[in-house]
Structure 1
Amino acid sequence: MSADVSSIDPRTGEVVEVVAQETASVSEICEAARTAAAPLEALGRETRAALLEALASALEDSRPRIVEVADRETGLGETRLNGELTRTCYQLRLFASVLTDGGYLEAAIDHAGETAMGPRPDLRRMLVPIGPVAVFGASNFPLAFSVPGGDTASAIAAGCPVVLKAHPSHPATSQLCFEVLTEAARKAGAPEGTFGIVYGQRAGADLVAHPAIRAVGFTGSQGGARALLAIIEQRADPIPFFGELSSLNPVVVTPAAAADRAARIGSEFAASFTLGAGQFCTKPGLAFVPSGPDGDALVAAARAAVAEAEPLVMLNEGIAASYARGTAALGKVLETSSAGSGAASAGFRGNPTLLTTTAADLPPEATEECFGPVAVIARYADEADLFAALGKLPNSLTATIQRAPGETDLPAELTRFLRPLTGRIIYDAYPTGVAVSWAQHHGGPWPATNTQHTSVGATAIRRFLRPVTWQNAPSDLLPPELLDDHNSIPRRVDGRFQPQP
């Protein structure tokens, strides 16, 4: 018998409602997605763009109810959740514009003719949908990386049906958003099976193993990723797995920056690593601060900010327990410089914590992600001390350099050193907050992700497309975008780029 899927209020730890039963009909849902794949692609770019616009409008129309349920289920607060829903609607509309632009297809035509290597056949290439995609909802972004979100938006834009694995932290939010999206898709003319949803750990495993699924989008822990990768390796046809996993996101404060604005950096750093109870993949978990009076002032400002903080609501019991274990382990090897005030009340909460050490004595525990409102400050004596410590760090999604106005020499050295270790380098700001745009890259070398692709921004669509070349194809068998007289998208013809007229 299937187990109940319960919705829990993290502020109290109490079960509020039973949302669903763990899914037993995974195969049926996956087959529906397989059936929907060809009709969804056949809608064409313009109709899929209209579909994405309709999905965004439907979410907007349901905003009050969605935010209410998500807040009760995550404790993230209405302000944060309204912003997250706005972001999700924005990226749905961004991908509509990506489809209208058409450049994402990478269309190229090489006409038949003589070359230095001899005769060449007529070759026409573009990207096509990969097929049904499994999307695993994230615990920390119920509206931006879950049922609605970047993976879903980019997959639908690519022409791929989506089967969603609801996260157990917010099943009621997942179900509500699924219902909103499904109804909007139906009204917009999308085929049945464009969206599917499953609940439960076993269902998630069965989803990844099902032969109809052609790619997986995942945001979560390394352990969860390795478990799913093991399933993929056992498939008769292993498929792409796009995982966003763990990240330390180091911050380097130059001596000149500390001299320029020590107190400001200290308070801003504390605000960044405690934002959202530190439950961001981009949370800065380690800051390198120079020794000396300026660095002392920076640390004092960070300590003061943390000392005033109350215990913060965590997303679920497991995350709260893991945070307690992680901070206890760090406290055994580092100095607890400051901790939030007050005792945790009912529900799942974590006390903001700041720890300190020296760059020379940086222990391995301080270079591992601890999910939650905790960070480490490591004091460095000079540049040699700093770069030696940076060489001990794992790869990350981001790296941040705080510099003084006009300072270039040390920031340039740091940029060269950090670039191989990260996917985004931030200057004089903080990594929390990932803008949705064409130029964004949200990814990084393992263990930040296992892919070179971004999961945020317009080029996230590339994950769910594959290239196909038509050789000597008659015109009536070609996609419209590869016909000679098609001129509504950018293309490369006989080696020359032709922008959209």
Structure 2
Amino acid sequence: MITGKNYIGDILSSEGDTTFTTFNPELNVENPHNFTQATEEEIEKAVTLAWEAFHIYKTFSGKKKASFLRSIADEIEALGEELIKVYCSETGLPEGRAKGERGRTVFQLRSFADLVEEGSWVEASIDTGDKTRTPVSKPDVRKMNIPLGPIVVFGASNFPLAYSTAGGDTAAAFAAGCPVIVKSHPMHAGTGELIATAIIKAAQGTGMPNGIFSNINSSDYTAGQQLVSDPKVKAVGFTGSIRGGRALLDLASKREEPIPVFAEMGSINPVILLPKALENRKEELAATYASSITLGTGQFCTNPGLILGIAGENLDVFISTLGNKVKETTTTCMLHPNIHRAYESNKERAINQDNTEIIAVNESKQENYASQLIATVSGKTFLQNPTLHHEVFGPFSIVVQCESIEEMEQIIAQLEGQLTGTIISDENEVASYAGLVDKMQNRVGRIIFNGVPTGVEVCPSMVHGGPYPASTDSRFTAVGINSIKRWVRPFSYQDWPNELLPDELKDENPLQISRVENGKQIRA
């Protein structure tokens, strides 16, 4: 049942008088529930509860945290069709997408549960002391990862489940030992409240401290600004626009105690068509990329917004086929009228640049449905016009006709940081383009061979991040179990009595975790 209230710890609260509604973009009508924006006092109370809960929760064993995470997954599944119905009504996305994203969300939670239950993720390292060493005795030093403190997570507009209330940021923070305050995305506040209810129920059922989780409603920037500025908040997770992520990064850096902001932001995900592959598979590749560009109405951070090839007959055929395939692909609904308006505005700005040619446009007359578009420019034009480098969030892509491999290398080298890069190659063709691969590696967080960038596998080897502005810190991933490293810091004990050390660092290794002992990896 949706109440429209905030969760301040485990209490539903609606002290404010500002309300808002969500919107059904498919039906082009407002949804029936009113949501009450959190007051400054409610937000302050949520942060205080989180700070108090942190000092309790950080002492909990991996097994107890794992029980909490698995219970959240179970409670989300128990929401059943109500969650799917609300999700679809707030996004315009189909039922299959909703169920797939729910599956990914519970998988992430259970993956982190397995991680913390086993325990080796703390990266315990022990260098035993030697009092007989001369001329200076050697201290006993032991190191492990410990949680940062309360984390603020901003819900993402395009993933109401997997990147929002109980998504990867929240799951990783809980696993690390950090309470979470979610600033729910106003476009899917109902979905957010249902998930928040599942988290609260799981927290109560597994004996978590009150304040381990709060869910804040707000339709403007004030709640986010207050949360990021509060000295009890120790880090921020964000998925969204460059403008939004950069604003949070600047705000956090100006605090008396600056804190990290782990933001995953814009990306146009360049695709390189090498000459032989283009010659041999131009029609096939065009069909594949038409599907990738229009998948989910282009509302993925890994949408292929830039395709590079060598100008000539083969690229001409690819471009023509790509345009025809996009024209044949049924148009679909965008997440919200605001996102649709932003898409149309950014698309118009791109195609109105000098020397930009429209190859194909699939016009839609339905409200909030995106008109899919493919454009093309020369390599020289792209190099000279940074406006063409900007992400157009939606089913849009630019094909750049390069005069040479050297020009292609120059374009890749001058690109802003990206989440992904893709190289399309025949047989061992790519082996002849080491310079191109090197330049791509310097600009992206993940490089794909003969595939499409859309789709992010949740696994330990995945990197979902990249050089700025793809993310604010390219050393970390926002997907997979290694994303837990964003919410911890290394901490050392020197000459500490064995009986007072955490179990992870005791001589006898009671948890039987993998550790580095005096420079040697000791397996569990």
Task: Provide the TM-score with structure 2 as the length reference.
Answer: 0.92
Alignment of 1:302-321 (within 5 A): 302-321=322-341
Identify the match of residue 16 of structure 1 among 22, 31, 46. 31
* Separation in 2, partners of 1:438, 1:471: 31
Partner of 1:27: 44
Letter in 1 for 2:481: A
Instruction: Check whether the contact 1:225–1:245 (CA below 8 A) recurs between aligned residues.
Output: yes
Whether 2:342 is the aligned partner of 1:322: answer yes
1:153 positional shift: 0.6
Number of positions where the alignment pairs a residue of Structure 1 with one of Structure 2 = 498
Partner of 1:43: 60
Alignment of 1:220-259 (within 5 A): 220-259=240-279
* Separation in 2, partners of 1:79, 1:52: 24
Whether 2:380 is the aligned partner of 1:365: answer no
Letter in 1 for 2:492: T
1:345 positional shift: 1.8
1:116 positional shift: 7.3
- The 1:379/1:474 distance shift into structure 2, 3 A limit, reads same
Instruction: Check whether the contact 1:360–1:389 (CA below 8 A) recurs between aligned residues.
Output: no
Q: Structure 1: which 5+ residue stretches go unaligned?
A: none
Instruction: Check whether the contact 1:259–1:294 (CA below 8 A) recurs between aligned residues.
Output: yes
Partner of 2:403: 381
Cα offsets for 1:277-332 (capped at 9, x unmatched): 11111111100122223222221221111112343211122211111111111221
- The 1:410/1:117 distance shift into structure 2, 3 A limit, reads farther
Alignment of 1:9-408 (within 5 A): 9-24=24-39, 25-113=42-130, 118-200=136-218, 201-333=221-353, 334-341=356-363, 343-346=364-367, 348-362=368-382, 363-408=385-430
Letter in 2 for 1:323: Y
- State the secondary structure of the residue aligned to 2:158: coil
* Separation in 2, partners of 1:109, 1:229: 35
Alignment of 1:422-461 (within 5 A): 422-451=444-473, 452-461=475-484
Letter in 2 for 1:461: I
- The 1:3/1:108 distance shift into structure 2, 3 A limit, reads same
- State the secondary structure of the residue aligned to 1:184: helix
Letter in 2 for 1:221: S
- State the secondary structure of the residue aligned to 2:161: coil
- The 1:189/1:289 distance shift into structure 2, 3 A limit, reads same
Instruction: Check whether the contact 2:413–2:443 (CA below 8 A) recurs between aligned residues.
Output: no
| Stretch deviating more after TM superposition (478-487 or 137-146) | 478-487
Q: Would you identify which runs of 4 or more consecutive aligned residues in structure 1 move more than 6 Å?
A: none
Instruction: Check whether the contact 1:312–1:352 (CA below 8 A) recurs between aligned residues.
Output: no
| Stretch deviating more after TM superposition (251-260 or 111-120) | 111-120
* Separation in 1, partners of 2:162, 2:433: 33
Cα offsets for 1:230-271 (capped at 9, x unmatched): 322332211111111111110000011112211111111111
- State the secondary structure of the residue aligned to 1:147: coil
* Separation in 2, partners of 1:169, 1:252: 35
Letter in 2 for 1:185: A
Q: Structure 2: which 5+ residue stretches go unaligned?
A: 1-15
1:9 positional shift: 0.5
* Separation in 2, partners of 1:209, 1:421: 32
1:129 positional shift: 0.8
Letter in 2 for 1:2: D
- The 1:305/1:226 distance shift into structure 2, 3 A limit, reads same
* Separation in 2, partners of 1:303, 1:116: 75
Letter in 1 for 2:23: I
* Separation in 1, partners of 2:191, 2:206: 22
Whether 2:3 is the aligned partner of 1:3: answer no
Instruction: Check whether the contact 1:286–1:366 (CA below 8 A) recurs between aligned residues.
Output: no
Instruction: Check whether the contact 2:156–2:164 (CA below 8 A) recurs between aligned residues.
Output: yes
| Stretch deviating more after TM superposition (220-229 or 163-172) | 220-229
* Separation in 2, partners of 1:175, 1:37: 22
1:105 positional shift: 0.5
1:117 positional shift: 7.0
- State the secondary structure of the residue aligned to 2:58: helix
Instruction: Check whether the contact 2:320–2:359 (CA below 8 A) recurs between aligned residues.
Output: no
Partner of 1:492: 516
| Stretch deviating more after TM superposition (409-418 or 33-42) | 409-418
1:411 positional shift: 4.5
Instruction: Check whether the contact 1:5–1:199 (CA below 8 A) recurs between aligned residues.
Output: no
- State the secondary structure of the residue aligned to 2:380: coil
- State the secondary structure of the residue aligned to 2:381: coil
Instruction: Check whether the contact 1:232–1:239 (CA below 8 A) recurs between aligned residues.
Output: yes
Identify the match of residue 476 of structure 1 among 499, 506, 519. 499
- State the secondary structure of the residue aligned to 1:371: coil
Instruction: Check whether the contact 2:37–2:216 (CA below 8 A) recurs between aligned residues.
Output: yes
Instruction: Check whether the contact 2:445–2:466 (CA below 8 A) recurs between aligned residues.
Output: yes
| Stretch deviating more after TM superposition (407-416 or 280-289) | 407-416
